[in-house]
Amino acid sequence: MPSFATHRQRVHDTVRSPRARHAALRTCVVGFAVYGFRATYHHLCRSARIPALLESDPEALVRAVEELHEARALWLEHESAYVARRRGEKALGGRGVPQVGPDRIRHRGPAPGQAQTRGPVPDRAHTLGPAQTPVPSQPPVPAPTPVSAPGRLQARGPEGSLAYCPDPARHPKEPLPVVVGRLLNPLAAAGVRGSGCPACGHDAAPTRWRTAWRIHRLCAACGTELASERADFSRAVAEAREEQWRRIWSREE
């Protein structure tokens, strides 16, 4: 699949038709969907003022992809710095990664203090063959204490998002680089996470919004998902959500 940079160039290519450039923008959004694909697309349509008739202002597509590119550049810079730092830590024996701290906005795996659950371990006696015997177990070697240093915004949410907004019409209104920069800033992240919403920091009572299969609790200020739970399927809700997305995709709202 061509890279983000390739599709960004296609958005800039005035030889291509506006529809082809719009398709390239869509692929860029798939590759870096800060709020999830639908909410990120809606945000870019609003911030870049992409018209329903693309031919009337094709440069709006350039404005949209450049905002996305600027936010992605911040993410890549953060990732590169994290990778370089972790390689240095591993060279010094610090192979563990801190699970808590102002630099750990999200993490994969169990919560701090919760046991790690794994699947069953295969019996080596059944895999070594008749002429071999199992290797006696060795006492575990304690892992080195990890170095305390700013880390990464590790686990992305649904659709590769950094701050998932399930309602595509509700998301932070600030430019994407501002929101991404806030999420990647260790000190700001600590304050934001402590107050509730990972994107804006507001701690107002969340609002409820549902899709066909799930009920989401959203930040009342910016629409970022705070929690969700499964719900019984609702065909009426499914049809309403698809109609909402059809209007957003065609830039009718």
Task: Give, in degrees to the nearest 5, the angle at Cα 44 between 43 and 46.
Answer: 65
Per-residue pLDDT of the chain (253 residues; tens, 9 = 90+): 569 999 999 999 999 999 999 999 999 999 999 999 999 999 999 999 999 999 999 999 999 999 999 999 999 999 888 889 888 888 888 777 655 443 444 433 333 333 333 343 333 333 334 444 444 444 444 444 333 344 455 456 777 789 999 999 999 999 999 999 988 875 454 444 455 687 887 887 889 999 999 999 999 999 999 889 999 999 999 999 999 999 999 998 7
Q: Do residues 155 and 108 touch, judged by C-beta distance below 8 A?
A: yes
**Dist CA 49 CA 59 (whole Å):** 10
**Nearest alpha carbon to residue 81 among 26, 11, 151, 145:** 151
Residue in the block written with tokens 């070697």:
141
State the pLDDT at residue 112.
Answer: 34
Q: What's 36's DSSP letter?
A: B
Q: Do residues 168 and 38 touch, judged by C-beta distance below 8 A?
A: yes
State the pLDDT at residue 240.
Answer: 95
Structure tokens, 15: 């030889």
**Dist CA 154 CA 236 (whole Å):** 36
Is the pTM above the cut of 0.85?
no
Where exactly are the structural domains of the chain? 4-106+148-249
**Nearest alpha carbon to residue 32 among 83, 88, 70, 89:** 70
Q: Do residues 72 and 4 touch, judged by C-beta distance below 8 A?
A: yes
Task: Mention every residue, 6+ apart, whose C-beta is less than 8 A from residue 239.
Answer: none
